[in-house]
Structure 1
């Protein structure tokens, strides 16, 4: 029974991804870091606030997927995220990153969801907030 539920969930995620033709960015982590350092991009953490409180990337913006997927407040998003910059979304494993990208793209943002999650980004040398 659990396998059937897991398969149905996975199939739903694949259909959602295919319907919106969005995939994880092909930008290398070096390119991501360079774009952020040059102020061409921002990193948006789409994990829940409790995960954020356990640790987050220095300079990242919190915008939980759990909040924007239910009822996106476009004005609040506009106040948090700059237009005209690349938005790199990240989460723990890459799934919420994709879901958030779909929503933010509809709002006119250049969104590039990251597949590496928070732990992998830290391992890759992205600075952890103090």
Structure 2
């Protein structure tokens, strides 16, 4: 189990928050938060220079598991991150805005 990391719900994610989405490419293209940076979980350690600057940086995945692991790892390596604990599934359920890369209406996959 990942170490405790600061966590917020999708409903508590502040407007204008700097967001890192760690889902896989096939999840990202169907629906994501506009302005989020996409780096799949497995690529984060090798792409630290591509992380957006945020204080804190909010990390999101589909339901909060992958993002919790990434946030814990980043925090252990000197970053200030917060996990979005219920993820994009809750973001979509709350009717918060999303964009898609497919040309179709966005949805969480």
Q: Secondary structure at the match of 1:113?
A: strand
Task: Confirm or deny: 8 A CA contact 2:10 2:85 kept in the other structure.
Answer: no
Give the whole-Å Cα distance in 1 for the aligned partners of 2:29 and 2:9: 27
Q: Which has the larger radius of gyration?
A: 1
Runs of 4+ that moved beyond 6 A? none
Cα deviation code 1:7-30 (max 9, x no counterpart)? xxxxxxx3xx2xx3x245146734
What's the counterpart of residue 59 of structure 1?
A: 35
Tell whether the 8 Å contact from 1:59 to 1:129 is kept in structure 2 after alignment: no
Aligned match of 1:116: 86
Name the CA shift for 1:33/1:90 in 2 (closer, same or farther; >3 Å): same
Query: Any idea what SS the aligned residue of 1:109 has?
Result: coil
Q: How many residues align?
A: 100
Q: Deviations over 1:93-113 (max 9, x none)?
A: 111011110221133221110
TM-score, normalised to structure 1, is: 0.65
Q: Which residue of 2 aligns with 1:50?
A: 26
TM-score normalised over the length of structure 2:
0.75
The structure, 1 or 2, with the larger RCO (C-alpha pairs under 8 Å, 6+ apart) is 2
Give the gaps of 5 or more residues in structure 1. Answer: 1-13
Q: Secondary structure at the match of 2:14?
A: helix
